[in-house]
Amino acid sequence: MGPNGMMGSIGTGDMVTGFLFMAVLLVVPFWRILPNYGISKWVSVLAILPVGALILLWIVAFRDAFGDRS
pLDDT digit string, tens, across residues 17-69: 988 998 899 899 999 999 998 899 999 999 898 899 999 999 889 887 666 55
Tens-digit pLDDT profile for residues 3-27: 655 556 677 888 889 889 988 998 9
Instruction: Select from 44, 20, 24, 22 the least CA-distant residue to 32.
Output: 44
Distance between CA atoms of residues 9 and 15, nearest Å:
11
The secondary structure element, H or E, covering residue 10 is none
The residue ranges of every structural domain in the chain are 12-62
